[in-house]
Amino acid sequence: MAFPAHVKADCLLDYLNTSKTLAEIAKSHGVSLPCLLLWHQKGRWTDKRHLMHKDIEERTVVECRKIIVENRAKVMNRHLNVGGKIEDMIEKTLDDNKKANKNTHPRDLADLGKALKSSGDVSGRVVGLDSRQAEEKSQINFLINTNFTPYVAGPKPVAIDVQSSEDEEDPF
């Protein structure tokens, strides 16, 4: 029995776009299973489905990468703005202290340096740099030039040895 061309095309579309079995497709379109199996084999429907899924996957990957790059640029700009604000804050702090003729406390300098380094590390991760890659290629050091010799602030920390008794329950 001969079928109109649109029936074969509809069966192929069902095969490509649904998860129906060949038996379900044959039944829904009023075609015998042996006839549909013949169309499936001669028309290389499995190859067509595989190529279609591969094409969809490739286009999806390209689209995802495009979105990632666009998002990475936005996030990187945000991080660079934060890094710039931290740099401005450091510069203002140093200028204010210089105008007031007072030295910046070394702990404050260390905190400012940590904030700047943290901002740089996060920005590096955003653009796909790994800190290990940076260390392998070159040693990156953040330097804040203050043009003065830091002074010793306060007493040195004292080490305290705390011993726990065996009767105490471990809270964790």
DSSP structure class, residue 158 = -
pLDDT tens, 66-90?
A: 887 777 777 777 777 777 787 888 7
Domain limits of the chain?
5-43, 71-137
Which bin fits 31, alpha (ψ -120 to 50), beta or left (φ > 0)? beta
SS3 21: coil
User: Mean of the per-residue pLDDT values for the chain?
Assistant: 74
Whole-model pTM: value is 0.43
pLDDT tens, 2-59?
A: 888 999 999 999 999 999 999 999 999 999 999 999 999 999 999 999 999 999 999 9
Distance CA 82, CA 86 (A): 6
Task: Please state, as a whole number, how many other Cβ atoms lie within 10 Å of the Cβ of residue 126.
Answer: 18
User: Helices (H), strands (E): how many in the chain?
Assistant: 6, 0
Please give the pLDDT value at position 170: 47
